[in-house]
Structure 1
């Protein structure tokens, strides 16, 4: 979120009148309230509050900047409109902030989309019933049964399956060194190792089949012999 607030190249927006837009609006108001309190402490501080007198504001107003960009870009009325804006921007300089599950579904079913960053401000889903209603126990029991039957995992595998992106071309140049990029090196190493083992085996078999010649001769006879015809010479010293 901090990186999103610092950059100025990519425009972004979200859906209006939703919990996402309300989140940024509330966070911007909180930053504004903190700034107001800090300003009062700094300008009107007594001798006991002199520690609050600082020249630089200690809190970064990142949500205020994010909300300003969203309002200048214009929030969209539907999620489909935000996804379309992302796809229409060929330079990849537009982002759409939306519910993580919906974004992940669109990313898994489109090779032209990618998910950036981690989810933030996560909130659980809940089912509201009247206080004291018998439906609370029945709904809770039904949810536990579905969890035991792995029903939710089956739904997740059906609609949020990352294997669907296997058909997408991999154009990410920031992956660094991978096994795919080093595949040729590993293959060449294995081929070289195999050739070395074959050469070693052939050399061992050659020396095993070639009988060695052991000859006991005197020193004078050894000087007259051609050393290429003798594998080993045992010279008997003469005393």
Structure 2
């Protein structure tokens, strides 16, 4: 059996029952999250997608929306053609009344332009005159209103999810409330014991609550108007421990560090150990508050005569700053100067560059349409000139 144990051993009441522990020889430490640095996160790739705005709806939904646009335009054209109440088929006014001047004949082109204006909420100067065509347009308007709301909500959720990385989860509450970023702890460590102990405490609290609302032996409940499902305490650690066991506990420190480097895992680790790896690898960083803070100490056999001598030596080293000097010596050696995180919370040009393709495409098509219009007009003028010349010939 060893007389002395030196290492990252935290002082706890459970250990003091079996062994002697010296005065703290290191700062208070606890559990902290070790995660991947933002630039190395795999989730940041999707946020640089220039056509991210188009992914807010699935392709089949975009196709249905386009089909609804074309169907509405076709039906408006047909109803405007055959309805006796349309502007095209309006009856001639009596001789003593002024003719109706405001209106539009909805050809297929005008109907497509009208439907596109309704979809983009741009509006139009004239609506269909026939009540039957207006009912079709009203249904399409309702569809456009709902689709605008759904698209806005989905795009906001997509932008939020694309920025969600392990490094963005900075609190225990936020980590426990989501499942996109997995988290774990090394098996058979003080961190594992912490979650086991907290889950056991929550279980005991729940048993006390359940017993308080059950029969007390006299036929009446201790707490009237209460129920098991009204349990007022959130079982956060029980839920987190269950998820970590389901996703898998790390079997070694190297495995835990490798999981953190993937960008989709957050690992609970002793604060000095987590900061050590983060200070020597720019792909890693520590986030969040420190949990279950406690100091490090040296372990000796129960009732050892060396315990007081070690305590006196530790006090002397604290007084003459020997411990602080050793700490600076070991922490500063091998430290890597990582570039500062210069990420902005705003949208980048690469995230929405695809949007500018749409107006550019419209400009290009407009120029082509203008060229076609000028060509057709020139052909018509040539034909008119040829016809006049043929008529003037004897």
| TM-score interval for Structure 1 and Structure 2 normalised by the shorter chain | 0.5 to 0.7
CA–CA separation in structure 1 for the residues paired with 2:225 and 2:290: 34
- Separation in structure 1 between the aligned mates of residue 289 and residue 237 of structure 2, nearest angstrom: 17
Specify which of 194, 197, 200 is matched with residue 26 of structure 1: 197
Q: Alpha carbon RMSD of aligned pairs, Å?
A: 2.7
Residues 51, 155 of structure 1: CA spacing in aligned structure 2 closer, same or farther, 3 A cutoff?
farther
Counterparts of 2:196 and 2:339, CA distance in 1: 38
Measured in 2, the distance between the counterparts of 1:56 and 1:28 equals 19
Q: Identify which of 161, 170, 186 aligns with 2:340.
A: 170
Per-residue deviation, 1:57: 1.1
- For 1:136 and 1:52, the matched residues in 2 are separated by 56
- The one of 266, 270, 275 equivalent to 1:104 is 275
1:71 to 245, 257, 269: 245
Alignment of 1:89-238 (within 5 A): 89=262, 92-130=263-301, 133-161=304-332, 164-165=335-336, 167-173=337-343
Contact 1:41 1:53 in 2 (8 A): no
Give the whole-Å Cα distance in 2 for the aligned partners of 1:131 and 1:29. 28
Partner SS for 1:114: strand
Q: CA, structure 1 residues 172+29, in 2 after alignment: closer, same or farther (shift >3 Å)? A: farther
- What is the alpha-carbon distance in structure 2 between the residues aligned to residue 2 and residue 159 of structure 1? 34
Gaps of 5+ in 2: 1-171, 347-394
For residue 99 of structure 2, what is the aligned residue in structure 1? none
Distance in 1 separating the partners of 2:187 and 2:179: 22
Determine the C-alpha separation between the residues in 2 that align with 1:26 and 1:63.
9
- The residue matched to 1:119 in structure 2 has which SS? strand
Structure 1 stretches lacking a partner, 5+ long: 177-239
TM (norm. structure 2) is 0.40
How far 1:99 sits from its partner (Å)?
Answer: 0.6
Residue number among 216, 222, 226 corresponding to 1:53 in the alignment: 226
Work out whether residues 215 and 221 of structure 2, in 8 Å CA contact, stay in contact via their aligned partners in 1: no
Higher relative contact order (CA 8 A, sep 6+): 2
Following superposition, the deviation at residue 175 of structure 1 comes to 9.0
CA distance in 1, matches of 2:245, 2:297: 30
1:114/1:52 CA distance change after superposition, 3 Å = farther
Post-superposition CA distance 1:109-153 (Å, at most 9, x none): 111111111111122223344565431221112112211231221
